[in-house]
Chain A
Amino acid sequence: RKEVEQDPGPFNVPEGATVAFNCTYSNSASQSFFWYRQDCRKEPKLLMSVYSSGNEDGRFTAQLNRASQYISLLIRDSKLSDSATYLCVVRDSNYQLIWGAGTKLIIKP
């Protein structure tokens, strides 16, 4: 079983819709959680950190469920420019980052 698992997608979503995807992690001692965004043939960039109380940044909301060991990312009013691969990242107790393989999102006009 992978330490960090994501649905690879692709999620095909019409512009303006709301889309959500989850990421599960296997190590209950994981410390911190992040979502990175990676555009096609580009490097990953931090989208947002995920706090225990959940956090929101504009159209993006991230939540953490420690009991079920998953984090989620919700995108409201999706834009064409949101098309990308979203990488779930978990920091373990050794301060190493464990990366998911990513969920591909395609926003269609």
Chain B
Amino acid sequence: DVKVTQSSRYLVKRTGEKVFLECVQDMDHENMFWYRQDPGLGLRLIYFSYDVKMKEKGDIPEGYSVSREKKERFSLILESASTNQTSMYLCASSSRLGTETQYFGPGTRLLVL
């Protein structure tokens, strides 16, 4: 079974704090993704990576950065958290870009005060 884990289920941070969200997958997948999910909106792609040290902007990269130093790990960084970044953050991985199933982690619910 594919397993995607995220470092925290719930996080509470203050405006201006730097926030790190970690994601690890154990299936040797090439592709990894960070989404945010908000009520009434579909999942929105923040960043994705199709190889170590590679990253591509998704639809809403502003205010975020990512790091992929190892194949199994993809980190999302909020450089200076803002209240409009309160959301559910979902990490996913897949073995081939787009066409294969994306496997999701359990999500991190982030509240920025």
Contacts and interface: CB of A to CB of B under 8 A. Distances in A.
A43 B42 contact: no
Contacts of B52: none
Interface stretch (B13-21, B64-72, B74-82, B99-107): B99-107
Interface residues of A, number: 19
B8 to A, nearest CB: 14
B45 interface: yes
Interface stretch (A11-19, A57-65, A75-83, A94-102): A94-102
A107 B35 CA distance: 28
B98 A43 contact: no
A10 interface: no
* Interface band, chain B: 10 to 19
B102 A101 contact: no
B41 interface: yes
Contacts of A99: 35, 42-44
Contact of A101 (B35, B42, B105): B42
Q: Which 9 A-B pairs have the closest CB atoms?
A: A99-B42, A95-B98, A43-B104, A99-B43, A46-B101, A101-B42, A95-B97, A91-B98, A100-B42
7 contacts: A42-B106, A44-B104, A46-B101, A95-B98, A99-B44, A100-B42, A102-B42
Interface of B: 35, 40-45, 58, 90, 97-99, 101-102, 104-107
